[in-house]
Amino acid sequence: MASEFFSKLSESIERTGSALCVGLDPRPQMLPEKFRDSSEPLLAWNLHVIESTEDLAAAYKPNIAFYEALGREGFDLLKRTLEAIPRDTPVILDAKRGDIGSTAQAYARAIFDVWGADAVTLSPFLGRESIEPFVERSDKGVFLLCHTSNPGASDIQELPTPVEPLYIRIAREAKSWSQHANIGLVVGATFPESIAAIRNAAPETWLLIPGVGAQGGDLEAAVRSGTRSDGSGKGVLVNVSRGISLAEKVRKSAEDFHRRIADALRQPRLEPEPPALSIVDDLVSLGAVKFGDFLLASGKRSSVYIDLRRAIGSPGTMRKLAAIYASQIENLQQKPDLVAAVPYGALPIASIVSQAVGLPMIYPRKEIKDHGTKQPIEGVYSPGERAVLVEDLVTSGGSVLEAAEKLRSQGIEVKDAVVYLDRESGAAERLQAHGIELHAALTLSRLLQRLKSR
């Protein structure tokens, strides 16, 4: 069920025929020449933008920073600007607030009661309690910063969490932070692949997409990546600020953006490339994919050789691999107690996967040392615990079976094995016959198909 704010936004989109949001960000240093003789030039500029776009804009988004920077006069400018916006057109006050307790409550009163905005942008960095004073207002809306349009967005927003990048975690968490379904996400048009990933993580959540126009975001790719899979055409709102307000002909520029957004919403949705495929180019650049005549550990010969050990030369690629494996483990029907590496090629991968999913790691030795503790299995474990085997790739499945037998001999239960690549040479069937289900992120045929499309 849509919140009051998103119902109002949907009605506005229906009425205007497009999902265009117009930014109102007056900057004295950018004031167009034609307004400089006005007694109130910045107000005249804002009013001109509103009058030129009021039948095209599904929403308006003033950025409060540009008004606060003007001091007392700026507050008056914001008040009169908001009064000029048609009452049936939603107003999103771009404030990017983020605090807790009484401070957050004060911010909420300022945004909604003093300024009368319909929605606000917020930072989720301080967690759920920092947005509660805003989302508890069932008639209002909130857009949380998720993956922004600035070049440095990936510095923090793409940091790995146990299963996925931080921005995807935000997209998933946000859905549970309000009982009124009044939370949307801010996702920059400069990262269409991230928009698609966010849409997959949050199929119904509204997306506010800035970064079009002056910031150079690909409007069509952003809209087609963010639109809902039900084909409703709703679920995205595209903000344009300088691309309209600084245009020589404001009306014409707004009409052009209006048309382009509407056209893009009618196009099929752009599906994101699965993570297992998205790192193929990384692996190729690292020399992990080779062609020739190779003898495999299984005794078979192959014209293609995949060496995931090369991935340790790229921390970024290792993080992506860890997220792929972690997602597989998170989706297992029965959660394991341990991550068990198949020695020795999978040791580097299993070690970071162990950290990603927060489970202890063990591994069976190929040979027992004749000195030291002479342990058959390295790590801390107890008989009766369940382990998931981690391997880089499988051909016949022999190395996985060998590792499983050693673990089982010590009382450890083994029912699942996760791998990046299945060479499709019978491993899945052989492992199943021994009570182990194979979970492969990618098959060799799909990898080769991806390489042909490069």
Active site residues: 96
Residue type, 400: V
Nearest alpha carbon to residue 85 among 123, 105, 115, 127: 115
> Where does 138-270 have alpha helices with state H?
154-157, 166-174, 192-201, 219-226, 242-245, 250-265
CB 92 within 8 A of CB 85: no
Could you give the 3-state DSSP secondary structure of residue 195? helix
DSSP string, 1-38: ---HHHHHHHHHHHHHTS-EEEEE---GGG--GGGTTS
Q: For residues 20 and 5, give the distance between their C-alpha atoms in angstroms, rounded to a whole number.
A: 16
Task: Compute CA 164 distance to the chain's CA centroid, rounded to the nearest angstrom.
Answer: 9
Rounded to 10°, the helix 219-226/250-265 angle is 40
The answer for residues whose C-beta is within 8 angstroms of residue 212's C-beta and 6 or more apart is 189, 219, 222, 238, 239, 240, 243, 257
Tokens encoding 298 = 């299984």
Q: Tell how strand 289-295 and strand 301-306 pair up.
A: antiparallel
Neighbours of 424 (CB within 10 A): 14
DSSP string, 24-83: E---GGG--GGGTTSSSHHHHHHHHHHHHHTTT-SEEEEBHHHHHTTTHHHHHHHHHHHH
Sign of CA dihedral 210, 216, 219, 220: negative
Residue whose token pair is 């048309």: 259
Query: For the chain, how big is the Rg over CA atoms in Å?
Result: 27
